[in-house]
Amino acid sequence: MALLLASQPNEWAYVASAYGIVIAAIAIYAAWTIVRGRKVGRQVPPERRRWM
């Protein structure tokens, strides 16, 4: 395995891809949740949103 790893010159490209995909996916999901939360929350009376 070490030989196989050593033969790959661009390990950092794979590392950056993995981190980039995870961060982007979680950021998009978090943004979607927050935006949808505001959209749905607008239609729910404040007294029924107990966290406020």
CB of 44 to other proteins, least distance (A): 5
Asked if residue 9 binds other proteins (CB under 8 A), the reply is no
Structure tokens at 38: 């505001």
Q: Which of residues 22-51 bind other proteins (CB under 8 A)?
A: 22, 25-26, 29-30, 33-34, 36-44, 46, 48-51
Asked whether 5 and 11 are in contact (CB, 8 A), the reply is yes
Residue 42 backbone dihedrals phi, psi, to 5 degrees: -60, -30
Q: What residues line the site for other proteins (CB under 8 A)?
A: 1-2, 4-6, 8, 11-12, 14-15, 17-19, 21-22, 25-26, 29-30, 33-34, 36-44, 46, 48-52
